[in-house]
Structure 1
Amino acid sequence: MSNTFATRATLNVNGQDYAFHSLPALGERFDLKHLPWSMKILLENLLRHEDGVSVLPAHIEAVAKWNPKALPDTEIAFMPGRVILQDFTGVPCVVDLAAMRDAVVKLGGRPEQINPQIPSELVIDHSVQVDAFARPDALEINGRIEFERNAERYGFLRWGQKAFADFKVVPPNTGIVHQVNLEYLARVVMTRRIDGELWAFPDTLFGTDSHTTMVNGIGVLGWGVGGIEAEAAMLGQPSSMLIPQVVGFQLTGRLPEGATATDLVLTVTQMLRQHGVVGKFVEFYGDGLQHLPLADRATIGNMSPEYGATCAIFPIDAESLNYLRLSGRSEAQIALVEAYAKAQGLWHAPDSPHAQYSSMLALDMATVRPSLAGPKRPQDRVLLPEMPDNSRAAIAVLTSARDKRSEEVADFIAEGGGAAVGNEQHGKGQADIAIDGKHMRIKDGAVVIAAITSCTNTSNPAVMVAAGLLARNAAARGLTRKPWVKTSLAPGSRVVTDYLQKAGLLDELEKIGFYTVGYGCTTCIGNSGPLPVEVSAGIAAGDLCVASVLSGNRNFEGRIHAEVKMNYLASPPLVVAYALVGSTTVDLTSEPLGNDRDGNPVYLKDVWPASAEIHSTIAATIGPDMFKSNYADVFKGDARWNGIASPDGQLYAWSGDSTYIKNPPYFDGMTMAVGSIDDIAGARVLGYFGDSITTDHISPAGSIKKDSPAGRYLMARGVAPQDFNSYGSRRGNDDVMVRGTFANIRIKNRFFGGEEGGNTLYFGAQPPEKLAIFDAAMKYKADGTPLLVIAGKEYGTGSSRDWAAKGTLLLGVKAVIAESFERIHRSNLVGMGVLPLQFKDGQTATSLGLSGTETYAVSGLADGSTKTATVTATRIDGTRIVFEVDVLLLTPKEVEYARHGGLLQYVLRQLAARPASV
């Protein structure tokens, strides 16, 4: 590597020498005092990877001279120090790597050329589902079912662990990926021996989950990427990015009595989403940091996808060291972190001057009030007293057509005619059910799921202990969950179970129905499992609009449960409170949770624990030994894991009978010849969508319906409906996944007005034929017709699901035209060779008069050398609508990816072209 700016230096820590690139040495040439911490980390990354090809002196100088007010326009190459995966996104990553091994051999290379070049770790946390709940053996039952459902996937991952170098797997039943990352895997400062020298450098990472940013709370720079980009990084390919803007967020004061870290993060999320931080870094500073425990910082960092930021980083300071020591890291590692951070100007003290920022916000934490967010977006904060009105307003909208036949939603606006199909619902908003022989009535607004779930909150001892104390106080007054509420406790790691048990709070949570159901994401990602049959029957009979309350980070439509239309994010203690009261229409600030054994009303304020008790409980129960014992053999796994059969060999032995693992078609017929970015002609619109289409809407997720294209495919392969498992578990099989793309039950194709469901119109028939999106796409493919998707604002919001892009490609979509894109999904589309095109400011599909029924052409792409293209939409009568769009290939490297047909094809050709001896 080059050393143009002579920054190579040596740091001695406790007698050990470490080579490093000194930022103070570079500061002798450039004024770096104004740089945010995140920009300094990027700068060090460039110094360390300067090679005269991907990283040039001009790139280093551009970051050193960063102008906070300048719009991003300079490309740099960032190379993370490690990659972290979860199993839903990790399985397709390993599938792709296995397929690349086959492909590189066909191109004349060797299997070993496809191997992780940086530490890559996968945590299995997404597969466990809440089948059993509110019973002592729930954990055992759910664990057994998990292994039965996923044995083939787990066997494949065990093959990958053996076949690939520098690839480790954390087995099931350990914890949630981001909590395991925070508690154990995060290094803060990494070391690596290069050419015989031991180097020290900042811990940086890519994660195949958008909430990778949780680790930002400890000063680690990392963010979520799609699986395609992560695979490229694993193979040593730097990621092309524009030098970002950085938003400074000043925190002052401290949280008041009764407010939690969840309330704080929901406030921050709302503020930053309103401010506009998509594609930007966010950095927290201010006097308030000294009152903000590491777990609270991690909670805020975790939610950065919800406010749209690339990352949301906190500095390395004394609290970071306290947490490293608490979580059982070695004293040698802690000493290195402190010495390196101080040597590089990355250390924060209360009197440290803040950097210059592109824009700034401020929050006095003393003003934070108890809140929830919902009913369908995490940025829609609701103050606790306003919950009844919010819930009733949502119910009114969601049930507006229930007691009368809905009129036709909209006349089909194509010249060929046709009519939109409306939803016909006839319910009364209440239903009588019997559970365990007891009769009861449930109504609109009933809470049917109350889940303590998600890395966002289960990583935070303060809110978990608060939930336990509230449960204890409620149980002592004779309160318990309402019978129709499905309760679950899914700790983010086994450390949480240990400290709750030591504090005597695990038993208290169980008394009101919160038994441990598994160590994984569970309800937060939609693995909430089936509702009790009596409750499901009641919902159907009354056509009820019911709710979930969860301590999660996502509450998008259709995500949590197919039968639940309202989903609210809340702190763990509020989750417990709503389980007790059983309805979102009750005002917890003025109405009782229930009556005690003597018939006296019990209010939330009566059972809410004091902050002093929460903190004293934490101090008395949590220590380093808990972390050390739980992570001593973290990669080993239990008997079930080690008993799973897995093949050997450098090449995977694909089975044509598998419905879980399949060699994907991305490299079929691939040669060393590079393609071009060509104009599109004769295209039809597959999906015509509105605003806020999330990756939950696009990517296959949740349960597989028997009458869906994926369900029909599985049944044709001999899979019974009870063995369908989830889409997430079948991400390693493209035949299943492409059939589930755009199949979300809540997605609304504007061809049908307000009707929900994954259908479209096939214009190859007259009159146009209504079909499932997959079925229409296959007809278009047979016709040789290219496809487009048209959408509104924030297209691709949500999880970093690469299948939202992979499925789009495999359906035959050549380009997506939207008003705006969320960062990760736009990158994923480029990585799969799908063009992201953006309407010019002020223009929308509606303002241009587009109906989606036209025939489309995209011209002027000029092999990627232009930033603007022309779209021509031709109606049946021959009239045309012509408009310009921005071509969102943001860097020269992205243009190269598009020419190659995708990022993986680009990397594969690069590797195959290397000499055989390399």
Structure 2
Amino acid sequence: MTAYKDVFNARTPLEGAHETTHYFRLSALEQHDVQNLDHLPFTVRIILENLLRHADGDLIKTEDVLSLANWTPGKATGNEAEYPFLPGRVLLQDFTGVPAVADLAAMRSAVARMQGNPEKINPLVPADLVIDHSVQVDAFGSRMAFAQNVEREYERNSERYALLRWAQQAFSNFRVVPPGTGIVHQVNLEYLASVVMMKEDDGMQVAYPDTLVGTDSHTTMINGLGVLGWGVGGIEAEAVLLGQPLYLLTPEVIGMRLTGALPEGATATDLVLTVTQILRKRGVVGKFVEFTGPGLSYLALADRATISNMSPEFGATATLFPVDAETIRYLRDTGRDPKLVDLVERYTKAQGLFRTDETPEPQFDDLLELDLSTIEPSLAGPRRPQDRVAMQSLGTAFRNAYADRFKAAATNVTVESPINRLGNEGGIATPSSVEQKEDAESQLANGNGNGHSVLEGKDILVNLDGQQTHLRHGSVAIAAITSCTNTSNPSVMVAAGLLAKRAVEKGLKVNPAVKTSLAPGSRAVIDYLRNADLLSSLEELRFNLVGYGCTTCIGNSGPLPEPVAEAVQENDLVVAAVLSGNRNFEGRIHPQVRASFLASPPLVVAYALAGTVDIDLAHEPLGTNDKGEQVYLRDIWPSQEEIRQLVTKSVTPEVYAENYSRVFEGDEQWQALSNSTGQLFEWDPESTYVREPPFFQNMSDQPTPVKDIHNARVLAVLDDSITTDHISPAGSFAPNSPAGQYLLEHGVQRRDFNTYGARRGNHEVMMRGTFGNIRLRNRLTNGKEGYYTVHLPDGEETTIYDASMRYQQEGTPLLIIAGKEYGSGSSRDWAAKGPLLLGVLAVIAESFERIHRSNLVGMGILPLQFRSGESKESLGLTGHETYDILGIEQNLKPRQTVTVKATREDGSTFTFETVARLDSAIDVTYYKNGGILLTVLRRLAQD
């Protein structure tokens, strides 16, 4: 890396620090007629420092720096300025990290084939990969669950982990946090992030803000610590690793001003679900959000991180909380080195990056206000994280969402509420059989026992190892305390433990049909729960430790108990999951669980006790204990003061310091993995986990000129809010699916299928799983759900994969047509790679989510956006037409108008205009090269 040029003479010693510690002071720009730096959003200041420090007159010109330094509200829209941004580090998790490492390994192989030096392919910025996405909840409800799940994880994933072990020794600047340690974003928050980084330059240390990009959309969580970072596709992350800048348009920053304080009974989860609803309604896709106002002083850092974590759910690029006294306190409380803490405070104050109540409030493109005292207990669902529901309205919301499953009883008779609302007396059971009693219909005729109308003929008796319980619409099948969003927050975790303790004292038990799990984001959580004497109470309610990983939040919920699964399947029940996660898209949590609600950890425990989401916990009892006493949520809900005292007592710096002292070592199983050496990875052509990806094979020195697209067919016509889970699922898959058939043909037993996420190192599996979500609705199939389409023009119904193979044999290019928010959700590069391998050359949609749009460009797929007010419906597009995309061969420019000509089945034609969502000049360059990685690889090969 070249030395800093200091073209603005901004380098200066950091007062009070070591004599060789310098920084690039923003105030130096005042000598160039820059004013009001203290009114810039902190987000803009951090990006500006990055430009100032890297300015060299070539990649980053003086006018780039001065242009951003003169940022003013309302000037981002329509401003075509483009700023190179060089993040300080890259963060990966294993689902996205394994294919990224596989791509880097494949690039080394390609360079070697081109007679180049493969070591040119090496991370030039520090990279950390945390293995957290692979553990599944196979075992639960016992103290052996954790050990059993970890053992199964290694059985499934040893080939993938061997690739990462190779990468550890082959690449410099690359560290791996082994399995069983924690969730990537929580490990980042509690340990990896430094807030201020140091780099040696010209014989002296230079301090600068910690910035990063990550291959997971929830990388944004770190903004709660004052660290600017966000999720990018694995494709973009690989380019950053190889020294390429990201290119940012002029940032648009939306402020959210907080006042007041959270009321009694409200949690950070309730706050973030409210914020998500507000900001999604406001529209912040592609924008930065920054929090300000006096309410910040009453918001703990873990609460801030909870909000920042869910930036993708409301669509923001990142959500920053500036560094302040609370940031410094958190660094100390999580056991950071005192020298680092001192550096952070000195640097941020000297640089104007430290917020106090007296700091001038920044100017924003727009400013929203939220009074924290108005927050109420909430959940979100049943299908989207932005659909907040007040706790007391959950039963009504559930019924409205699935109105077709309900009918009013002729008599509308109600009876006394049964124990735990499901007629169950509790106890731990092992699944064994399902039994539907002959009197089920007569029970239905007399009401369901909860004061509501009778459900539509569904009241199923289930026998779980001798214990009987009822399942019906709304029954809780999964209750999971999981996800970095909430398990990183000691206040809500301690609240869950306190609620569990009081529930046990009151004699309540969890219905045995509920699959319960506790999957914290770091080992520190278990230690402080144990210190607080709360872990045993959670275990008493079967919330046993199942793993340190994402688990249920990403669909690794494991199978339901067999009798429950059979009852749900055979009776088409709409059962629910309640989880403390951040995503609840259809088909994500579990293929048999249609309704999924996001909730705080204490509410997860509460709904596990209630056994149903068809309830108003504000007014109806959780259940009845052995003494016949009705117990309400208000009877066992802990106060904020109780939570605060216990957090202060049990969550100590020593807990974090001890747990992170050996974070990179791993357990005996990690150490025992095969550890191949050498600069080139030895690809195994028989592997069903890791195969050399095809993207760099037979690569030419120069790109093939882009051409107009002719006679294209439509592979799928999709509606609004198609997520990357729909396009490239991460969860389990069936043996009769194209991916399942591939594995069976290669000798893989069904029990060893693992998940799509774990198989991302094998393009053969992933291309067969593209658009493989069982809840996908393709309009070409007339309402049939799943991975199906019709081959045209013959109209034969087949799988999307098989249709694609036929089209490619016929030489037919393919398109996707969709509605609004195409590609929302996770930053999943295979949601772009998969369509490319299926022959998709363009996607026409009403709007695109930020990360997925860039991923499409990064793989050489053209994103086209309907003109405002137009859609597939308004234009009468059915997907049975053939399409010509005209105007991309010559003089392609950012956001160019592109003409689409459609030919109907009767031969008639019509045209409409679209906007090419190549948003910048670098996007055009990437598209012309067939993608970002081919662009970088050609450049490296030429060098």
Same fold, judged at TM 0.5 (above): yes
- Name the SS for the 2:280 alignment partner: helix
Is 1:39 paired with 2:67? no
* C-alpha distance in 2 between matches for 1:118 and 1:145: 34
Amino acid at match of 2:808: K
**What aligned pairs does 1:378-457 form with structure 2 within 5 A after superposition?**
378-397=385-404, 428-457=457-486
Question: Aligned-pair distance for 1:394?
Answer: 1.7
Inter-partner Cα distance in structure 2 for 1:65 and 1:398: 58
SS of structure 2 residue aligned to 1:728: coil
Structure 1: runs of 5 or more not aligned? 401-425
Q: Following the alignment from structure 1 to structure 2, what is the Cα–Cα distance between the partners of residues 491 and 430?
A: 34
Q: 2:304, 2:798 → 1: CA distance?
A: 47
- Check conservation: 1:465, 1:500, Cα contact below 8 A: yes
Distance 2:577 2:550 in 1: 15
Question: In the aligned structure 1, how far is the partner of 2:782 from the partner of 2:747?
Answer: 36
Distance 1:518 1:250 in 2: 37
Query: Match for 1:5: what amino acid?
Result: F
Q: Give the Cα–Cα distance (whole angstroms) in 1 for the partners of residues 660 and 276 of structure 2.
A: 32
1:210-289 maps to which residues of 2 (within 5 A)? 210-289=217-296
Counterpart in the other structure of 1:169: 176
Offset at 1:852? Answer: 0.7
Rounded to whole Å, the distance in 1 between the matches of 2:596 and 2:30 is 50
1:778 counterpart = 2:805: yes
Q: Which residue of 1 aligns with 2:57?
A: 52
Aligned-partner Cα distance in 1 for 2:835–2:365: 35
Q: Distance in 1 between matches of 2:784 and 2:88?
A: 46
Listed as ranges, the matches of 1:26-175 within 5 Å are: 26-29=29-32, 30-31=34-35, 32-70=37-75, 71=77, 72-175=79-182
Any idea what the Cα deviations from partners look like across 1:357-413, whole Å, max 9, x if unmatched? 01110100000000000000000000011011001112224679xxxxxxxxxxxxx
Q: Is the 8 A contact 1:125 1:520 kept in 2?
A: yes
Shift of 1:90: 0.3
Give the distance between the partners of 1:10 and 1:282, measured in 2 at CA.
Answer: 32
Paired amino acid for 2:64: H
SS of match in other structure, 2:208: strand
Deviation per residue, 1:595-620 (Å, 9 max, x gap): 12311100000000111100000011
- Partner amino acid, structure 2, of 1:44: E
Question: Does 2:826 match 1:821?
Answer: no
Contact 1:23/1:344 (8 A) holds in 2? yes
Indicate yes or no: 2:208 matched with 1:201: yes
Matches within 5 A, 1:578-727: 578-727=607-756
Q: Whole-Å Cα distance in 2 between the matches of residues 397 and 793 of structure 1? A: 25
Which residue of structure 1 lines up, in the alignment, with residue 906 of structure 2?
Answer: 877
Q: 1:118-148, CA deviations, whole angstroms, 9 ceiling, x for partnerless residues? A: 1000000000000011111000110110011
Specify which of 7, 11, 18 is matched with residue 8 of structure 1. 11
Deviation at 1:676, TM superposition (A): 2.5
Q: Partner of 1:439: helix, strand, or coil?
A: strand
Q: CA deviation at 1:16?
A: 4.0
Whether 1:846 and 2:873 are equivalent positions in the alignment is yes
Could you tell me which amino acid in structure 1 is paired with residue 153 of structure 2? Answer: E
Bigger Cα displacement from structure 2, 364-373 vs 347-356: 347-356
Mapped contact 2:392–2:618 kept (Cα < 8 A) = yes
Amino acid in the other structure paired with 2:220 = T
- State the distance in 1 between where 2:174 and 2:307 align: 29
Within the candidate set 893, 899, 915, 1:865 is matched to 893
Deviations 1:39-66 (A, max 9, x none): 0010011112223332111211111111
Distance 1:752 1:68 in 2: 47
1:25 to 28, 37, 57: 28
Shift in Å, 1:821: 0.2
| Residues 790-846 of structure 1 deviation map (CA, whole Å, 9 limit, x = unaligned) | 000000000000000000111100000000000000000000000010000000011
SS at match of 1:912: helix
Asked whether the equivalents of residues 689 and 750 of structure 1 are also in contact (C-alpha less than 8 Å), the reply is: yes
State how far apart, in whole Å, the 2-side matches of 1:639 and 1:719 are.
Answer: 26
- Tell me the secondary structure at the aligned position of residue 681 of structure 1: strand
Task: Describe the superposition over 1:703-737 as per-residue Cα deviations: whole angstroms up to 9, x where unpaired.
Answer: 12101111111111111111111111010000000
Q: Cα RMSD (Å) of the superposition?
A: 1.2
Note the 1:692-841 alignment, pairs <5 A. Answer: 692-764=721-793, 766=794, 768-841=795-868
Aligned to 1:892: 921
Q: What is the distance in 2 between the residues matched to 1:852 and 1:320?
A: 53
CA distance in 2: counterparts of 1:429 and 1:13, whole angstroms: 71
Shift of 1:863: 4.9
After TM superposition, give the deviation of residue 67 of structure 1 in Å: 2.4
Deviation at 1:6, TM superposition (A): 2.1
CA distance in 2, matches of 1:777, 1:231: 28
In structure 2, list runs of 5 or more residues that go unmatched.
408-454
Q: 1:460 aligns with which of 489, 492, 495?
A: 489
Query: Offset of 1:639 from its aligned partner?
Result: 0.5
Contact 1:429 1:545 (C-alpha < 8 Å) held by counterparts: no
Q: Which amino acid aligns with 1:69?
A: G
CA distance in 1, matches of 2:223, 2:570: 47
Kindly tell me: are residues 510 and 16 of structure 1, through their superposed partners in 2, closer, same or farther at Cα, counting changes over 3 Å?
farther
Percent of aligned pairs with the same amino acid: 56
In the aligned structure 2, how far is the partner of 1:789 from the partner of 1:451? Answer: 35
Specify the SS of the correspondent of 1:48. helix
Please give the secondary structure, in 2, of the residue aligned with 1:134.
coil
In the alignment, the residues of structure 2 paired with residue 295 and residue 396 of structure 1 have an alpha-carbon distance, to the nearest angstrom, of 38
Equivalent position amino acid for 2:12 in 1: A
- Once residues 546 and 92 of structure 2 are traced to their aligned partners in structure 1, the CA distance between those partners, rounded to angstroms, is 23
Distance 1:397 1:260 in 2: 33
- Counterpart CA distance in 2 for 1:495 and 1:24 is 40
Q: Which one-letter code corresponds to 2:833 in the other structure?
A: K
CA contact (8 A) 1:431 1:541 kept: no
SS at match of 2:758: helix
Report if the CA contact (8 A) 1:395-1:445 is conserved.
Answer: no
- State the Cα deviation string for residues 530-574 of structure 1 (Å, max 9, x = none): 000010111123210110000000000000000000000000000
Contact 1:116 1:167 in 2 (8 A): yes
In structure 2, the residue corresponding to 1:357 is in which secondary structure? coil
Q: Secondary structure at the match of 1:794?
A: coil
- Tell which deviates more after alignment, 202-211 or 856-865: 856-865
Letter in 2 for 1:590: H
CA distance in 1, matches of 2:875, 2:627: 66
Partner residue in 2 for 1:422: none
3-state secondary structure, aligned to 1:101: helix
Secondary structure of the corresponding residue to residue 514 of structure 1: coil
Tell me, in whole angstroms, the C-alpha distance in 2 between the residues paired with 1:632 and 1:905: 40
Q: Post-superposition shift, 1:502?
A: 0.4
2:584 to 537, 555, 560: 555
The code of the aligned residue for 1:529 comes to G
More divergent stretch after superposition (793-802 vs 73-82): 73-82
Kept in 1: contact 2:781–2:797 (CA 8 A): no
Question: What residue is the counterpart of 1:362 in the other structure?
Answer: 369
Q: What is the rounded CA distance, in whole Å, between the counterparts of 1:610 and 1:310 in structure 2? A: 35
Q: Which amino acid aligns with 2:834?
A: G
DSSP-derived class of the 2:940 partner:
helix
- How far apart are residue 445 of structure 1 and its match? 0.4
Distance 2:596 2:554 in 1: 12
Contact kept in structure 1, 2:140 and 2:516, CA below 8 Å: yes
Give the corresponding residue for 1:412: none
Contact 2:133–2:550 (8 Å) recurs in 1: yes
Q: Is the 8 A contact 1:701 1:744 kept in 2?
A: no
Q: How many residues align?
A: 887
- Determine the structure 2 residue equivalent to 1:414: none
Distance 1:293 1:446 in 2: 35
- Paired residues of 1:13 and 1:336 also in contact (CA < 8 A): no
